[in-house]
Amino acid sequence: MKKALITGVAGQDGYYLSELLLRNGYQVHGVTLPGIPLPADLRGRIAIHEMDLRTPEPLARLVREIAPDEVYYLAAHHFSSQGEENRNGLAAPFLAVNLVAVNIILETIKLNLPQTRFFYAASAHIFGTPDSFPQTELTPHRPVTPYAISKSAGVMLCRYYRETHGLHASVGILYNHESSRRAADFVTTRIAKAAALASLGKGTPVYFRNIHAVVDWGAAKDYVEAMWRLLQQPSGNECVISSGVARTVWEFAEVAFKCGGLKPDGVILQENSSTPIESVPYVGDSSKIRKLCGWFPAVSFEDLVREMVMNQLALLRNQSES
């Protein structure tokens, strides 16, 4: 039985990756911050280790004790794109979780478990302000936030351990991926909730920073399979994981409201009347991982949005009945 260790296991990706690994016969260990609850249907099925990833020795000891075949580093210090903290905050917390803890695990693997395979969840934000799209693995890193800087450094760190020390250290450059488990402050969840409320006759205006923003959206269920497939390859690699399709926030809203036979007009609104400044959008070219791993997204955009709206509708009905 293979053993896997997942950091950030209580999050969206951690949940779907745990389910995938369990189906494939793995023994799964998960790391989460103290007090962060695990989804109810995972309790008792995976081993949980509560830990602050900023404490080096307990983290290194845990890796040595478990001796996992695969490590998936999904934990991250980040903020919603709707907030200013991501741009204006101090770099230290981002570096501690997104880089230093990664270094500790990779060094522990190098010294004690050289056959262990490691996956690092990076972000399209490493490209900062790209000058072309779609972006590929060769697109220059131009990070413009503390979060993106730390993620870019994490990519370089994995590359160092892969090329200098021969570790199976892989990186997934992840574009936006959603599910019904997305947190409430994310744009997609806010739209899905607005659509669900509107279908119940309770629609009220919801404002967004840029309803014309172009986004490359995929399904979390698909993306965790890409992570797993990447670690099944003979050697480590770096791959963009994306749908490759550009859609606007407004298009997401149109599909969401269509679930209830409605339109988003008058409900999904721009924060101000000024025309948003156009920039090169984050759209990823995932042809490398498709060729390397035979991975293709299985969940359609329409099905993804519908799942999120139906989940919000179910939550609202449960609230009204309780």
Q: Where are the domains of the chain?
A: 3-177+217-241, 184-215+245-282+300-321
Q: How far apart are CA 169 and CA 155, in angstroms?
A: 10
pLDDT at 292 (0 to 100): 98
Q: Which helix (H) or strand (E) holds 47?
A: strand 47-50
Q: Exposed, middle or buried: residue 34 (CB in 10 Å: 0-12, 13-18, 19+)?
A: exposed
Whether domain 184-215+245-282+300-321 has CATH 3.30.70.260:
no
The encoded tokens of residue 142 equal: 């131009």
Which pLDDT value is given to residue 278?
A: 61
- What residue ranges of the chain have pLDDT lower than 50? 80-83
pTM over 0.85: yes
Query: If we measure between CA atoms, which residue out of 227, 276, 232, 231 comes closest to residue 250?
Result: 276
Round to whole Å and give the CA distance between 81 and 230.
27
In this structure, the strands spanning 70-73 and 47-50 are: unpaired
**At the fourth CATH level, which superfamily is domain 3-177+217-241?**
NAD(P)-binding Rossmann-like Domain (3.40.50.720)
**pLDDT tens-digit series, residues 241-264:** 999 999 999 999 999 999 999 999
What is the secondary structure of 99-143 as a DSSP string? IIHHHHHHHHHHHH-TT-EEEEEEEGGGG-S-SSSSB-TTSPP--
Would you call 72 exposed, middle or buried from its count of C-beta atoms within 10 A (0-12, 13-18, 19+)?
buried
Q: Which residues, including other chains, have CB under 8 Å from residue 307's CB and lie 6 or more apart?
A: 179, 180
Please report the pLDDT score of residue 202 as a whole number. Answer: 94
DSSP 230-286: HHTSSS--EEEE----EEEHHHHHHHHHHTTT---TTTEEESSSSPPPP---B-B--
Q: According to the model, what pLDDT value does residue 80 have?
A: 47
* Residue 134, preceding peptide bond in cis (omega within 30° of 0): yes
**C-beta separation of 135 from 282 below 8 A:** yes
**What pLDDT is stored for residue 69 in this prediction?**
98
Two domains, one topology: 3-177+217-241 and 184-215+245-282+300-321:
no
The whole-angstrom separation of Cα 104 and Cα 7 is 13
What residues contact residue 144 under an 8 Å CB cut-off, 6+ apart? 87, 128, 129
C-alpha 64: how far from chain center: 26
Report the SS3 class of residue 97.
helix
| Cβ-contact 220, 16 below 8 angstroms | yes
| pLDDT at residue 272, as a whole number | 80
- The pLDDT value recorded for residue 82 is 42
Handedness of CA 50, 46, 226, 181 (dihedral sign): negative
The radius of gyration of the chain from alpha carbons, rounded to an integer in Å, stands at: 20
- Per residue in 269-287, pLDDT (tens digit) is 998 856 556 678 999 999 9
